[in-house]
Structure 1
């Protein structure tokens, strides 16, 4: 904004605004301009009680963007179905099936187990089902593992492992992995594989490799062999008890690992030479 000289003199700049983005939703579109009294008293700018102000407005055009008015949003909490089903298992309301696992008794709901496991569904509602009030005896599954299996069936989450040492936690995961395979719980099986894969180390990799081979889990099996070969840990692994058991039970897997290790070492020798 400039005061214009009403004679032939130069105009005088009195105010300059910084660039501003105008928002149609913003009601504050006005600027206050303060001009010193001494400028009004100068006859060159104020004549016959008349003041001439020139306003120069530069418009910088931008692509037109249609603004969307924001409306209040209603927050939806995360799903709590697992919490409700978990509470159903804890309160034991309406349970209609009894399991005997290593002299420990567990009660559950047929419908819930059948909905989560095709194996349980066949046991309860298939043509070979056996009706009766006697407890169903579960063999070859430790009670703590079966408790963890029920926990996952009802809550879709792993049981807490905070009270377990690292080795015990790994052992529990292996047992849950086997139980998941037995009862066709594919999500639980994948979760166990993922955690076992992330926690491979020299002392346990051979045992995990044997487990992966026995239950036809190719991704976990490949990860174990990759760990042994790429970390140059073959000598250390070979001295573990798990590797000795692996040689007895799964000799073909040992041969596969040795062959891959040999190929990698030969490739390294060629590169070095």
Structure 2
């Protein structure tokens, strides 16, 4: 059965930018009591501004707590954006990050003051002490990651490696055809036919017993096979080597059915159960007024119960039985297998009553 597997991946597009905001003369600027702003910078097609703003929290007990709010805001005239931000406070002595603050992705919109910025509250004692504050300078490094809508994913065929169908049957058919390594010969109807003992033994318990069992006769070749036609024996070997019937399309229907009947007998003789069922199936599909009695006799002799029931059911048709009784096959059936006729008539009677 042909199958297909495709793959598509949906992932958001991101654009990231970093802005270094250096504040020189920090003490002088914070003394003004206003936010300290960076210049405008662009990330992801939007304008942004970083800021630092002193905040004094007044409590009822009269104690004031001083903090600094460091944040990033979306500039005016910018559309909505989804973004995350990260702040690094830089060690003035080494140039390396001293502390890092991260915020999860959120919606930014300049239309709404509350959603236009994101911020971190930083304790003043941390910011205004070495190594963050050095020579009255502070360096902040802002990284903005703008998350864009994912593009419609492209559908691709999932990678696969084609494995060709098994060709073992071709190799075994070639082995039979070319006769290479033949180590056994049969005489069938006066004709010698070669084969390979091991292959026959693997496929048929009867051949295994004859060729390797205690009753085998050493040195008696060719082995004479009686009551089997050469063409039927070749068809049997073809099935043993390929697990399929040989081509029979060129034969007339009567000749083909005759070969199948003889092949069923051979399959029963050599305990080839699958071949026996295949022959029964073909004979069942080709039942007719002229063949049903002969096929019933064959099924009775070789214990083909399903084929036997199919013949009886065919004969049970009221418009058929009279015609069947007039055939030579039915007359032969009454003479050679009277018990089968009785059984058939009894079942036919039950079918009609039912």
In the superposition, the TM-score normalised over structure 2's length comes to 0.56
User: Per-residue deviation at 1:100?
Assistant: 0.4
User: Per-residue deviation at 1:126?
Assistant: 0.3
Report the counterpart of residue 193 of structure 2 in structure 1: 106
Report the counterpart of residue 203 of structure 2 in structure 1: 116
Q: Which has the higher contact order (CA 8 A, sep 6+)?
A: 2
SS in 1 for 2:299: helix
Deviations 1:160-186 (A, max 9, x none): 102210000001000000000000111
Greater Rg over alpha carbons, structure: 2
SS in 1 for 2:258: helix
Deviations 1:127-174 (A, max 9, x none): 011111520000000011001001111111101102210000001000
Seen in structure 2, the aligned counterparts of structure 1 residues 209 and 51 have a Cα distance that, compared at 3 Å, is same
SS in 1 for 2:165: coil
Unmatched 5+ residue regions in structure 1? 1-22, 29-49, 55-67, 268-273
In the superposition, the TM-score normalised over structure 1's length comes to 0.72
User: Per-residue deviation at 1:25?
Assistant: 3.6
Report the counterpart of residue 235 of structure 2 in structure 1: 148
Matches of 2:223 and 2:243, distance apart in 1: 23
Report the counterpart of residue 68 of structure 2 in structure 1: none
Matches of 1:252 and 1:225, distance apart in 2: 13
User: Per-residue deviation at 1:90?
Assistant: 0.7
Matches of 1:131 and 1:99, distance apart in 2: 14
Give the structure with the larger strand fraction.
2
Report the counterpart of residue 157 of structure 1 in structure 2: 244
Report the counterpart of residue 103 of structure 2 in structure 1: none
Q: Which moved more, 1:73-82 or 1:121-130?
A: 73-82
User: Per-residue deviation at 1:202?
Assistant: 0.7
Report the counterpart of residue 37 of structure 1 in structure 2: none
Matches of 2:12 and 2:285, distance apart in 1: 57
Report the counterpart of residue 79 of structure 1 in structure 2: 166
Query: Is 1:234 equivalent to 2:321 in the alignment?
Result: yes
Write the mapping of 1:1-273 to structure 2, written as runs, cut at 5 A: 24-25=9-10, 71-132=158-219, 134-230=221-317, 232-267=319-354
Give the structure with the larger helix fraction.
1
Unmatched 5+ residue regions in structure 2? 1-7, 14-75, 81-154
Matches of 1:92 and 1:253, distance apart in 2: 44
Matches of 1:93 and 1:77, distance apart in 2: 26
Seen in structure 2, the aligned counterparts of structure 1 residues 185 and 231 have a Cα distance that, compared at 3 Å, is farther
Matches of 1:264 and 1:186, distance apart in 2: 30
